[in-house]
Chains A and B, each alone.
Chain A
């Protein structure tokens, strides 16, 4: 698509941004097909693929049986034979039912064939807590896949990033997992103008500094970007200025941007929604402790979910998940160390 001056656009929400990415890329690439539960006739459980079947037809959009393993596995075969596939997980929690096909079949394909076969597959789906979805509609299980070499992982927090990263994912020759924040799908206060076509592309593997500051770096992604920004407001009223880094991509991770920030603040707090043990925050902490120890004036700290499932009712859910208060408190400890 030509890089022309984009006309002024109305602000769109996160879900519409995803939808635009899908429609634009389906239009651009005739080899791209979609597979998922209820993505056709219904248009997806959340409406992300609403209208896709009407526009692109039954040879491009497949309403699949409730069979996550077959969905991913069939997509794997399609990729082996020249197609590109968008796989929708109805909820990212259900991905465990297709786990083997992702980590053993798809993620390893390029490696075990010494580069003969690549897997241009996008696996996307609604993820994350804070909505009272309970144990099986609240998960952030990205660490399972970060621990499986061969998969790229992104987690956008804004409409522009949602569209831009999803478009990049479609054009990547590797399997890319897109963790969509369902609590952000229709959130009004984050709506923004988003570019069209190639101008909308956001490269995978680049972090974004969401707020600049000098005293502490808060590194996070997804829902917790907003909690971190609110915590930064709290810190400001305590006289500390926090820098908020939204990594956007977990694999590959933009360590350079985090290190640049640390060089300025010398204090690190990492937030992830997943459980503490072996969560991705631990990986970020480990890498920075190994590679940027001299930059740290305080122990690097984590704010994560407790090592529990995500419970249903609000007081319980709030108790286990990271929050503005927990981030504020931890960042203050880092600042005052």
Chain B
């Protein structure tokens, strides 16, 4: 069974960290799910209109992993997102306020300027799309070498530890990247030194065009933890609250000096590997599997729980119906206006920016001075 709640996901509600969350937290989480989804579908639309270059690696249907994992972090904690986690760059430290300039995350303006390839990008559009980061915001700069930033994430928290600061690093990885040697090397080292490193495995069941059974001999990628003597947790990646619970458990474990953990979030890649691959994905993925996988939309799952708890009425839940719709079917009216407005601020900023001057291509190979 590829989707649905994993067998060992905890139903022990009173002990879950999310038990302390109130109605406002739930509403915020739902709004963040909308925003992550809107960011994705908006970029798909912009790309289809020919306004963007490069490849979009859609996080559609995997938003609960990003939103739920970031929600409980401290502002100074570090994250290391990859190509499918683009919303994480601007959603980090959202608790400090979406528009707070002091927030230790990127602004939506910076992220959009990056996607549009404009000077307002944090890296002045030198590498594409998700390949950005920020020392100020404690975001490790991402590259194309999957699992390649896990040792850097170990390094930044080691540096903090040497200064007596207690930060945690959260790295994001597809299940495919767990086969890389550097994945093993970095987590092995982190386990030896009990570094506060939480490795999230976004198990969306496909490494580009290769299914999990050709990637790993066991069903649960969390079992990779066993070899390092560290906890390996499994979360329902469609349930933002379950992701929050499992990641918080790992984060507290790390912050209390007990060392790293792996959190496998079982989710499903709704579309192709990248937008270049959407049509071809139908060739290698069984149709019924795709249909099943898209059934548990994280927005719908969250709404269901909120209705059950009385945090929203059924009518309210029906108001913005972004769930279970592809990028081509959904419209701005399916999202809360504040979500659309936030994204618009980023897009407006980006399109007003110039491309970087050509000669910058030859700059910054070396740092000057001592």
Contacts and interface: CB of A to CB of B under 8 A. Distances in A.
A245 B44 CA distance: 58
A67 B193 CA distance: 14
A116 interface: yes
A105 B158 contact: no
Nearest to A68: B185
Nearest to A77: B155
A101 B185 CA distance: 12
B364 A76 contact: no
A146 interface: no
Interface string B125-160: 011000101110000110111001111111111111
Contact of A111 (B126, B149, B182, B368): B126
A73 B186 contact: yes
A102 to B, nearest CB: 11
Contact of B150 (A73, A82, A110): A73
Contacts of B141: 80, 109, 112-113, 117
Contact of A70 (B143, B151, B156, B363): B151
Interface size class of B (residues with CB under 8 A): 35 or more
A189 interface: no
A104 B148 contact: yes
Interface in A77-120: 77-83, 100-101, 104-105, 108-118
Contacts of A67: 185-186, 188-189
Contact of B364 (A74, A110, A172): A110
A150 interface: yes
A149 B156 contact: no
A80 B126 contact: no
Contacts of A117: 135, 141
A173 interface: yes
Contact of B155 (A74, A114, A116, A172): A74
A83 B161 CA distance: 12
Contacts, number: 140
Contacts of A76: 151-152, 155
B6 interface: no
Nearest to B151: A73
Given A113-B123, A150-B366, A152-B366, A105 B152 contact: yes
Given A73-B148, A76-B152, A78-B155, A113 B366 contact: no
Nearest to B361: A111
Interface residues on A, range: 35 or more
Contacts of B155: 73-81
B97 interface: no
Interface in A9-56: 33
B145 A104 contact: yes
A131 interface: no
Contact of A77 (B134, B140, B145, B188): B140
Nearest to A69: B182
Contacts of A81: 135, 155-156, 159-160
A314 B155 CA distance: 43
B158 A110 contact: no
A250 B366 CA distance: 15
Contacts of B360: 114
Contact of B162 (A33, A64, A70, A75): A33
A238 interface: no
Contact of A114 (B154, B156, B185, B364): B364
A109 B143 CA distance: 10
Given A109-B141, A114-B126, A77 B185 contact: no
A74 B145 contact: no
A95 to B, nearest CB: 14
Interface in B300-359: none
A100 B364 CA distance: 20
A82 B151 contact: no
B33 to A, nearest CB: 30
A74 B365 contact: no
B158 A64 contact: no
Given A78-B156, A100-B148, A104-B148, 13 more contacts: A67-B185, A70-B151, A70-B186, A73-B151, A75-B155, A77-B158, A80-B152, A101-B182, A109-B141, A112-B126, A112-B127, A116-B134, A171-B370
15 contacts: A59-B162, A67-B186, A74-B155, A78-B159, A80-B155, A81-B156, A100-B148, A105-B143, A105-B152, A109-B141, A110-B367, A112-B126, A115-B367, A174-B366, A174-B367
